[in-house]
Structure 1
Amino acid sequence: MAGLTSFVYNTVFRSNVTMLTTVFASAFAMQLAFDTGSDRIWDSINRGRQWKDVKVRYVQKAEDDDDE
Structure 2
Amino acid sequence: TDDMALAKTVYNLLFRRTSTFAVTIMVGAVLFERVFDQGGDAIFEQMNRGKLWKHIKHNYENEE
- State the TM bucket, normalised to the shorter chain: 0.7 to 0.9
Whole-angstrom CA distance in 2 between matches of 1:44 and 1:5: 38
TM-score (norm 2): 0.83
Q: CA deviation at 1:54?
A: 1.1
Aligned partner of 1:5 among 4, 7, 12 = 7
- Point out the structure with the larger helix share: 1
- What's the TM-score, normalizing by structure 1? 0.79
**Structure 2: any 5+ residue segments left out of the alignment?**
none
Specify the alignment match of 2:36 in structure 1.
Answer: 34
Cα distance, 1:57 vs structure 2: 1.5
Aligned residues: 62
**Structure label with greater radius of gyration:** 1
Q: Structure 1 segments of 4 or more deviating over 3 A?
A: none
Matches of 1:54 and 1:45, distance apart in 2: 15
Kindly report the root-mean-square deviation, in angstroms, between the aligned alpha carbons of the 2 structures.
Answer: 1.4
Q: Which residue of 1 aligns with 2:57?
A: 55
Structure 2: distance between partners of 1:56 and 1:25: 41
